[in-house]
Amino acid sequence: MSIQWYPGHMHAARKQIAETLAKVDLVIEVLDARLPGSSTNPMIEQLRRARQRPALKILNKADLADPALNTRWLEWFRAQPSTAAILMGEDNKQGQARKLPSYCRELAPHRTGAEKPLRALIMGIPNVGKSTLLNVLMSRRIANVADTPGVTKSQQRVETGEGFILYDTPGLLWPKIERPESGYRLALAGSVGRNAYNEEDVAWFAVETLQQRYPRLLAERYKLDEQTLSLPADQLFEVIGRKRGAMLGGGRIDRQKTAELILTDFRSGILGRITLETPDDFLLPPEPLAPTDHSGDPEEDQSE
């Protein structure tokens, strides 16, 4: 089954983002450090490269991701043209948020002070933590935060008072997720609307992925021996349901509850620090940005 989710407000947001890109100096993209490749929006990558805008990639939820793969992904993104990358998690969010303007100025040093404020578009997939980051940066609540993807539905303009202007966008996916595994990873992370996928299917995918990549964490969480750990994913799913007490009458597994337990364990980090993909799995380096020329300069926003 292919997982796709592109509600109407995202189509409208895509058009607005394309217009906003004409008047900003760079793009800040908030990624999920547990799935950095799958949470990179190819549509925005294409738009920003066409406009010749540099990018700051924030690998958020890094405290839930595999530390070794955090390093690999940072190196991969930093090797791309006109791209910087940083890690962010609950353990360093305050400090990294305060440094955000300085990181951006390194990418656009020609924009300084109130006369020439630095203008950035901040975007990311649904439920990646962008709204929380924005609230931390501003030290007040200016964006709604919820566990349900798609809460923010309109763009807003935010001034930090330090010659730094942010255009905040709704969580955005793209019209067609080309790789099926990316759709499942996005669903597993909670970045796809609940109506777009079957929770049991995604839980099976999670079990199979953990069997292959993090068998020790899977065994520790659900108290599995080596023989049980080697069972097919559908059978192991049932074992986990029994061990977690997700039962119906007559000794039957409550499959829905089992799926919910597995998804919650991943999303909350209870399973451990897990990254679902590596740069080598399916990604190729993007094409280099074209040389900068006058036609690519940001259009001045007369409201500033």
What length does the chain have? Answer: 304
Report how far apart the first and last C-alpha atoms of the chain are (Å, whole number). 48
Flag residues of the chain having pLDDT under 50: 143-146, 149-151, 285-296, 302-304
The reported pTM is 0.85
Domain covering 198-279 assigned CATH 3.30.2010.10 in the classification: no
Q: Strands across the sheet with 55-60, in order?
A: 83-87, 55-60, 26-32, 118-124, 164-168, 156-159
- The pLDDT of residue 293 is 38
Look at residue 282 in the predicted model and tell me its pLDDT: 65
pLDDT at 269: 96
Tell me, what's the pLDDT at 226?
Answer: 94
Q: Which two tokens stand for residue 1?
A: 């089954």
Rounded-to-integer distance, Cα 73 and Cα 223, Å: 31
Q: What is the pLDDT of residue 299?
A: 57
- Which residues of the chain form CATH 3.40.50.300? 8-177
In the chain, CATH 1.10.1580.10 covers 198-279
Q: Quote the DSSP letter at residue 271.
A: T
Q: The domain 8-177: what is its CATH number?
A: 3.40.50.300
Residue located via tokens 């933590």: 129
pLDDT value at residue 141: 58
Alpha-helical segments (H) within the chain: 8-20, 42-50, 67-78, 93-107, 130-138, 180-188, 199-213, 215-222, 226-229, 233-243, 255-268, 279-282
| pLDDT for the residue 1 | 65
Q: How far apart are CA 259 and CA 275, in angstroms?
A: 20
Q: What is the pLDDT of residue 297?
A: 53
pLDDT score at 142: 58
